[in-house]
Structure 1
Amino acid sequence: MDAKQIYEKVQERYGSAAKESSGEYAHVVAKAFGYSEEELTTIPKDANLGLSCGNPLALAKLGEGETVIDLGSGAGFDIFLAAKMVGAHGRAIGVDMNKDMLERANRNREAALANNVSFIESAITAIPLPDGSAHCIISNCVVNLVPEQEKQLAFNEMFRLLKPGGRVAISDILTRKDLPKELKENMALYVGCIAGASRIKDYERYLQEAGFQDILIVDSKHDLNVYTDVNKDGSRDFCCGSGKQLSYCKNGSSCCGEDLTGNRLENSAEQYKGFDFNEWAGSFKIYAVK
């Protein structure tokens, strides 16, 4: 799999997501992955795009005055919640490589008058911040999108950016068993957070090799099929983070238009209707300390 091609497709997919209306789909998905109604009503309405697979803030235990960095911050969903936790004397920094997402996030920041929030355009494998910048790093359903050959770089960067004693609190999709070749090479499932997911033992190894200790990886038991069970118009769908994914696929977009080898997959959305994602993968909570 070519990393450049993967990044291009991820950029294309999430650039489209940044232009969508969040709607009821995003609200239902967020609640299914552990966010409370109170949390969802205290952030800008356009920050939640239904891209989560868990709630990393439940693990992060952020305190007043801390600096937190969100890797793959999207429209700002988690970072606006984190900003309230660290308070006016803390800093909440979102990192995302997608210009459309950052544009939406900055509009949300202005609307929320969130003076302790800032956003950086960057891949999460090389972030232009100094060593020891943060007390905590969070991420929500993003590390699985990093190409396999670059995943270790992302964990190394987390370690570099943390202060001594700092922690990572991540929600991510991990695989329970090796995926068949046809699933691993399906671009729809890649940008949908499944095909690029690591095995549990590999995720632990990445953390260890980066230097982390006290590693905890726990299955959150959330139902991944929520992505197919809920849609804005009541129809069924698939692909992490889009209530309009089926319409994109029918129109021939790249999400469902081809696999990682370039083969056309015009009927990918229909092909995986009824597919039980929970058999192959799960939503996991990951915690580790520097």
Structure 2
Amino acid sequence: MADADIYQQVQERYSSAAKTNDEDYGRDVATAFGYSREELASIPEDANLGLSCGNPLALAQLREGEVIIDLGSGAGIDAFLSAKNVGPNGHVYGIDMNKDMLARAKQNAQKTSTKNVSFIESQITSIPLQASIADCIISNCVINLVPDADKPLVFQEMARLLKPGGRVAISDILTKKDLPRGLKESMALYVGCVAGASRVSEYERFLKEAGFADVLIVDAKNDLNIYTSALGEVEGESNGAGCCAQVKKATSCCAPDQKAESSDAGCCASVKKQASCCGPDQTAPKEGGSGIFSESFKNEFKDIDFNEWAGSFKIYAVKK
């Protein structure tokens, strides 16, 4: 897959997600992944599109007066919550390359008269902000979408933007070993946060080579096989928004009736009537289908055990 094609497909997918609005769906997904209902009630409903695959704020430990950068800020869920944590003396910069997501985020900021958040159009490999400006950088299931050749640039940019002693708190999908060619070359799985995921060892190397220490990468050990098992139950009229598509029957994105064990549960925590948060954009038509997730897609990947290859991870590191 050419890098230009990857960026274009990601742009198209998230433009579509930015134009959806299913408040119940977004709330159910977010609460399953560690966001409290009180937190969600404190931000614009349109800021939560159900795209989260974890809760980086649970790792970030934000403090009053800090400067935060949110890589791939989308409609603003983590940016607005961060703004409340840092208060009027702090500031949050939401970075996103997608114009539709930025438009929605900026509308949300205007509706709530939020003054300590700025949304900037930029790829996360080169951000128009001064060096050593941030105390903490957060990101939520975004870095896996960056083409492999550009991934080291993301970590170098994080190091440039952070103050000495600054930290990163990231939720992302990583692979445990090299993906088979059929998975690695699937654009459907790429925009679904799987095919572009880095190896754990690569992620650690990217961080250390960029100048980070105290690197912590923890596997949430969630069941990722929902990526194929849920495809047959996808609601044909689902909103199709982002990493979590609606499912008719599944009560959990990992296994029936499975419940999250902690408030910062990973990508496949329990989701009422939803599929995996970081799985593919599961919006196949009811029969056949001409979209990315057709019956042929389900048949192609039905025998793959994704848990053998990938997992949902929480990442924390400190700039030297």
Task: Specify if TM > 0.5.
Answer: yes
| CA shift in 2, pair 1:38/1:180, >3 Å | same
Compute the displacement of 1:267 (Å): 2.8
Compute the displacement of 1:23 (Å): 3.4
Whichever residue aligns with residue 11 of structure 1, its letter is: Q
Listed as ranges, the gaps of 5+ residues in structure 2 are 234-243, 251-274
Counting only pairs closer than 5 Å after superposition, residues 176-191 of structure 1 correspond to structure 2 as: 176-191=176-191
Q: Does 1:27 align with 2:41?
A: no
Q: Hey, what does 1:121 align to over in structure 2? A: 121
Compute the displacement of 1:246 (Å): 2.0
Q: Does 1:267 align with 2:293?
A: no
Compute the displacement of 1:37 (Å): 2.2
Counting only pairs closer than 5 Å after superposition, residues 204-219 of structure 1 correspond to structure 2 as: 204-219=204-219
Counting only pairs closer than 5 Å after superposition, residues 163-178 of structure 1 correspond to structure 2 as: 163-178=163-178
Whichever residue aligns with residue 12 of structure 2, its letter is: E
Determine helix, strand or coil for the equivalent of 2:65.
coil
| CA shift in 2, pair 1:248/1:148, >3 Å | farther
| CA shift in 2, pair 1:21/1:242, >3 Å | farther
- Residue by residue over 1:1-32, the C-alpha shift from the partner in whole angstroms, topping out at 9 and shown as x without a partner, is 31111001100111111111133332232223
> What TM-score comes out, normalization by structure 2 length?
0.80
Q: Hey, what does 1:246 align to over in structure 2? A: 284
Within the candidate set 278, 286, 307, 1:278 is matched to 307
Say if 1:145 and 1:197, in contact at 8 Å, map to a contact too. Answer: yes
> What TM-score comes out, normalization by structure 1 length?
0.88
| CA shift in 2, pair 1:179/1:76, >3 Å | same
Whichever residue aligns with residue 216 of structure 1, its letter is: L
Compute the displacement of 1:113 (Å): 1.6
- Whole-Å separation in 2 of the counterparts to 1:49 and 1:210: 32
Say if 1:191 and 1:239, in contact at 8 Å, map to a contact too. Answer: no
- Residue by residue over 1:193-249, the C-alpha shift from the partner in whole angstroms, topping out at 9 and shown as x without a partner, is 000000100000000110111111111234445674875462676784787622499
Q: Does 1:234 align with 2:241?
A: no
Larger mean Cα displacement after TM superposition, 208-217 or 219-228: 219-228
- Whole-Å separation in 2 of the counterparts to 1:136 and 1:238: 27
Compute the displacement of 1:251 (Å): 5.7
Q: Hey, what does 1:88 align to over in structure 2? A: 88
| CA shift in 2, pair 1:56/1:107, >3 Å | same
Determine helix, strand or coil for the equivalent of 2:172.
strand
| CA shift in 2, pair 1:117/1:66, >3 Å | same
Listed as ranges, the gaps of 5+ residues in structure 1 are 258-264
- Whole-Å separation in 2 of the counterparts to 1:142 and 1:129: 19
Compute the displacement of 1:279 (Å): 3.4
Compute the displacement of 1:124 (Å): 0.2
Compute the displacement of 1:178 (Å): 1.6
- Whole-Å separation in 2 of the counterparts to 1:149 and 1:202: 12
Say if 1:50 and 1:242, in contact at 8 Å, map to a contact too. Answer: no
CA root-mean-square deviation: 2.5
Higher helix share: 1
| CA shift in 2, pair 1:185/1:92, >3 Å | same
| CA shift in 2, pair 1:101/1:85, >3 Å | same
Q: Hey, what does 2:257 align to over in structure 1? A: none
Q: Hey, what does 2:58 align to over in structure 1? A: 58
Say if 2:72 and 2:95, in contact at 8 Å, map to a contact too. Answer: yes
- Whole-Å separation in 2 of the counterparts to 1:179 and 1:80: 36
